[in-house]
Structure 1
Amino acid sequence: MAFPLHCPPPSPPLRISSPPAAAAAVPNPCPNLSSLAPPRLCLPRHRRRRRRPGSLRCSASSSSPENRRAGPASSSDAAELPLFPLPLVLFPGAVLPLQIFEFRYRMMMHTLLQTDLRFGVVYADSASGTADVGCVGEVVKHERLADDRFFLICKGQERFRVTGIVRTRPYLVARVDWLEDRPSSDGGDDLESLAGEVEAYMKDVIRLSNRLNGKGEKEVQDLRKNQFPTPFSFFVGSTFEGAPREQQALLELEDTAARLRREKETLRNTLNYLTAASAVKDVFPSS
């Protein structure tokens, strides 16, 4: 399900923007809550991923939870999780502000607030359907309004893969297996070096992006903040705003080194684009 890693087609310069709105939830408009979300980098788009045989993705006509048929029961110790399809990708450690207004998901929130405050966020769009790999969102702050809408702050926890559907009404509940990165063939020192290279590319991308947006070439501070390579790779992926399919591909990788290498390639391609755009701007300032 991986994208080719050669140069992507041209796209507008990297910019900072907000996450897309969902049909049943939108990013929280409250300034004090929205400010908790990390900045997201808009990167050049990649080609559409090929679907993996046997995956639980559904077509555009069946992406709605009501149109998905419940699957057979599995082992009694399988984990069950309510799912929330959204047109965005949540990564472990990332913060996601949401406004819940659709009735079935308000029902889900009433249940969650009485249990463990955890639900599964899965990426969904009309072209590729609903992904079978997602990330648990844990409610860390919530506000219930008079009209029964909810403002939420969620934080990404562990990843999961959907293995079956338990029920579809009033909201989707699935059986899931938990995902963790497998031990990498790259040694610890190599992972540290790779994470350092990704951070360096990311700093250069932010610096050039600021310059092109008229913000000046300010010194970019420490982005990694002493994170180990795996959580740092998730943080980098969470900043790739504007490329949700690429983010989904990064989320599904089960190898930290492979994820960091892919992010390095994406950032290098973006840096090349921004460098060319910066050179054009120097020659033709009015453009």
Structure 2
Amino acid sequence: MSDHAWLPLFPLNTVLFPGGALPLRVFETRYIDMVRDCMKRDAPFGVVRIKSGKEVGVAAQPDSVGCLAHIVEWDMPELGLLMLQTSGGQRFRVLETRTLPDQRIEARTELIADDADAPPSAELVACATALNTVIKDINEAARASGEGGFSPFPAELKLDSTCWVANRWCEILPISTLARQKLLELTDAQSRLAIVHQYLVQHGIVAGDKSH
């Protein structure tokens, strides 16, 4: 990104995590132009949660931390509609924004270092085992739909990684986008996994620690 100081932002009512898979349906001219420019430069754009405002129309106010989205695949099934598959890269912090005449937002950013992976733990094993079951169920449902159902999970599973397991759970838990955003902003993978584990125990998805 060094050759392009201003990062184009795509404000959405969702939160992208590193290593995540995010399909996007792009139909607004301003964002089709943005995506084309990124593809030309083989550069990512930034996905940020909308703090206030809407996805369409006047520029929305983005949250202060987002995630780079790398374009993996694209298709234009009809004129004026781009279908993208994107992959979550590194997180970034928004330092300054500017709004372009077409109401697109660009930002000066600083990258946030990737979380260090924590040593294996009982929490990781419990969360990873449950996640593996969920992934299989969702993938089977996507295949059974017969309509090119999309799996929200990357092809390569990293069930021995605290970062990866915590991030995938953060994407699929039925929580608010604000709660998801707070989890994205944590800079410690073990803390993120601990919160996920607590949620799964409270909702009976994994067993609690019987020693307590």
For normalisation by structure 2, the TM-score amounts to 0.71
Give the counterpart of 2:127 among 194, 198, 219: 198
**Equivalent residue runs for 1:25-40 within 5 Å:** none
Structure 1 residue runs without a partner (length 5+): 1-75, 211-222, 273-287
Give the counterpart of 1:159 among 91, 107, 110: 91
Single out whichever of 94-103 and 109-118 deviates more from structure 2.
109-118
**Residue 92 (str. 1) matches residue 18 (str. 2):** yes
Q: How many residues align?
A: 178
Deviation at 1:248, TM superposition (A): 0.9
**Equivalent residue runs for 1:237-252 within 5 Å:** 237-252=170-185
Give the counterpart of 2:46 among 113, 117, 120: 120
Q: Separation in 2 of the partners of 1:201 and 1:226?
A: 10
Matched residue, 2:64 = 132
Matched residue, 2:9 = 83
Q: Separation in 1 of the partners of 2:34 and 2:14?
A: 19
- Give CA deviations for 1:227-250 in whole Å, capped at 9, x if unaligned: 421122211211224522221111
How has the CA–CA distance of structure 1 residues 202 and 99 changed in structure 2, closer, same or farther, with 3 Å as cutoff?
closer
Q: Separation in 2 of the partners of 1:80 and 1:129?
A: 16
Cα pair 1:160 1:176 within 8 Å, conserved: yes
How has the CA–CA distance of structure 1 residues 182 and 98 changed in structure 2, closer, same or farther, with 3 Å as cutoff?
closer
How has the CA–CA distance of structure 1 residues 227 and 80 changed in structure 2, closer, same or farther, with 3 Å as cutoff?
farther
Q: Separation in 1 of the partners of 2:75 and 2:132?
A: 36
Deviation at 1:85, TM superposition (A): 0.4
User: Which structure has greater strand proportion?
Assistant: 2
**Equivalent residue runs for 1:33-112 within 5 Å:** 79-112=5-38
Matched residue, 2:186 = 253
Deviation at 1:92, TM superposition (A): 1.1
Matched residue, 1:24 = none
Q: Separation in 1 of the partners of 2:98 and 2:3?
A: 13
Deviation at 1:149, TM superposition (A): 1.7
Q: Separation in 2 of the partners of 1:169 and 1:180?
A: 32
**Residue 150 (str. 1) matches residue 90 (str. 2):** no
**Residue 271 (str. 1) matches residue 204 (str. 2):** yes
Between the two proteins, what is the percent identity of the paired residues?
Answer: 29
Q: Separation in 1 of the partners of 2:165 and 2:18?
A: 10
Deviation at 1:112, TM superposition (A): 1.3
* SS of residue matched to 2:40: coil
Q: Separation in 1 of the partners of 2:23 and 2:11?
A: 15
For normalisation by structure 1, the TM-score amounts to 0.54
Matched residue, 1:175 = 108
The two structures, once aligned, show a CA RMSD in angstroms of 3.1
Structure 1 stretches of at least 4 aligned residues deviating more than 6 Å after TM superposition:
none
How has the CA–CA distance of structure 1 residues 182 and 149 changed in structure 2, closer, same or farther, with 3 Å as cutoff?
closer
* Higher-Rg member (1/2): 1
Q: Separation in 1 of the partners of 2:158 and 2:108?
A: 35
Task: Tell which has more relative contact order, 1 or 2 (C-alpha 8 A, sep 6+).
Answer: 1
Cα pair 1:118 1:139 within 8 Å, conserved: yes
Q: Separation in 1 of the partners of 2:202 and 2:130?
A: 10
* SS of residue matched to 1:88: coil
How has the CA–CA distance of structure 1 residues 98 and 77 changed in structure 2, closer, same or farther, with 3 Å as cutoff?
closer
Q: Separation in 1 of the partners of 2:86 and 2:30?
A: 18
